[in-house]
A and B are shown apart, each in its own frame.
Chain A
Amino acid sequence: MRGPHDVGGLPEGPIDAKPHDLSFWEKQIDGLRGVIGGKGIVTTHENRRYVEGLGDDAYESLTYYERWTAALSRQMVEKGILTQAEIDARVRDVRARLAASGELESETAGKAP
């Protein structure tokens, strides 16, 4: 069975070749993933397994680095490095901090999906 990532040969439309400069948060995730990979905590293969295992809906709807972030979160929990409860609590704290400093795009921005 094809996973959502396995798209080789499928019919598709035109390629959007517009350049996309990475935003700071995307670079942060790339850097974080690079350091974690470099320390041997999560291999490229493990990262792929998590990204491919996000499920069709998540894979389709998330951007590239959103997928990496979702994968990283699961990896850290599965490896016992972080707990889901502490991640959830910190997400609430960070969101509250950003809201207080006016850095959220809207009142509902950044809510958990």
Chain B
Amino acid sequence: MPHDHHDHDDDHHHAHDHAPPQPDDKVHSYYQILGIALKELLVEKGVVTAGEVRAAIEKRDQTTPAFGAKVVAKAWSDPIFRIRLLTNANAAVAELGFPMTTTQLVAVENSEDVHNVVVCTLCSCYPRELLGLPPAWYKSRAYRARIVQEPRAVLAEFGTHLTDKVEVRVHDSTADMRYLVVPQQPAGTEGLSEDELAALITRDSMIGVTEVNWSA
């Protein structure tokens, strides 16, 4: 927001109280203007309401990788839930209060022998209901192009070094099918509560570019 930025030059402090917005806050792209125009017109025509758009933004802001972490922590702690998650992921995540009604969810589990990683080569499909909006790199051309061609090299760039004995499976998402990686539970964490486990589980580990680390 315009007035959140402050000049560090104290001499000009007062002059900047009513300073114009910083460049980052200013409109520079035609598409920003087009976006404002479309929203205004669609609200005026009653196609959408401003409240609906606001609620959608709020819901997105509140949907974070903590949701996915809760699912994974439950799978680590509850063997029956783990089987449900691996066999009917939509039903399993809905049980925990995260319904995915418009897409099929597939949970893929890492093990000593198999490492899973997710991409959407064509665009940006992602289990938003569990992880929130995808990070910019997930949508980037470089990640989409390379992860299917040289996954081990890409994983190494994320700090994940796998031996040749580990099979790497790359899952390419579609508009209809999304993937959640269930990372391996780190050794020594068996006594932790679900909440303690969930706190260890990162977004990137559920995309599959990293593993979950733990040190006592």
Contacts and interface: CB of A to CB of B under 8 A. Distances in A.
A39 B23 CA distance: 36
B38 A7 contact: no
Interface residues of B, number: 57
Contact of A12 (B20, B102, B142): B142
Contacts of B137: 15-18
Contacts of B80: none
A74 to B, nearest CB: 11
B194 interface: no
A104 B102 CA distance: 39
- Categorize the interface residue count of chain A: 35 or more
B199 to A, nearest CB: 20
Interface string A74-113: 0010000110001100110111001000111110011111
Interface string B160-185: 00000000000010010000000000
B122 A8 contact: yes
Contacts of B154: 15
B146 to A, nearest CB: 5
A95 to B, nearest CB: 5
Contacts of A110: 27-30, 32-33
Given A6-B121, A8-B121, A90-B41, A30 B60 contact: yes
Given A87-B37, A94-B40, A104 B56 contact: no
B34 A91 contact: yes
B135 interface: yes
Interface stretch (B8-16, B45-53, B88-96, B106-114): B45-53
B53 A106 contact: no
5 contacts: A8-B148, A16-B140, A18-B136, A19-B135, A95-B33
